[in-house]
């Protein structure tokens, strides 16, 4: 099984329309950059409930993803 087969938000890579897929970068992030992203995510989102409003802010064209949130 590849990463493309693992579900995320109830969908696999094949379920996501081409226009909504992330752009492939020219290089991978290094360990320092990854740690900075993780620190940011933890500081902003850890312990907070995801709301429909928050979801639609980040996924405005993927309403199916946000439909299951309270």
pLDDT tens sequence across 13-69? 888 888 888 788 888 899 999 999 999 999 988 988 888 888 888 887 766 778 877
Q: Tally the domains of the chain.
A: 1
* pLDDT for the residue numbered 2: 56
Looking at the domain assignment, is residue 7 inside a domain?
Answer: no
Looking at the domain assignment, is residue 67 inside a domain?
Answer: yes
Looking at the domain assignment, is residue 14 inside a domain?
Answer: no
3-state secondary structure the chain: CCHHHCCECCECHHHCCHHHCCCCCCCCCCHHHHHHHHHHHHHHHCCCCCCHHHHHHHCCCCHHHHCCCC
Instruction: State the residue range of the domain holding 67.
Output: 29-70
| Residue with more model confidence, 34 or 1 | 34
Looking at the domain assignment, is residue 45 inside a domain?
Answer: yes
Looking at the domain assignment, is residue 21 inside a domain?
Answer: no
* pLDDT for the residue numbered 32: 97
* pLDDT for the residue numbered 63: 60
Looking at the domain assignment, is residue 58 inside a domain?
Answer: yes
Looking at the domain assignment, is residue 64 inside a domain?
Answer: yes
């Amino acid at each position: 099984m590849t990463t493309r087969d693992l579900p995320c938000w109830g969908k696999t890579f094949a379920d996501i329309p081409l226009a909504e897929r992330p752009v492939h970068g020219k290089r991978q992030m290094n360990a320092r950059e990854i740690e900075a992203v993780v620190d940011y995510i933890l500081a902003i989102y850890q312990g907070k409930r995801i709301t429909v409003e928050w979801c639609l802010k980040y996924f405005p064209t993927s309403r199916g993803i946000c439909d299951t949130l309270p």
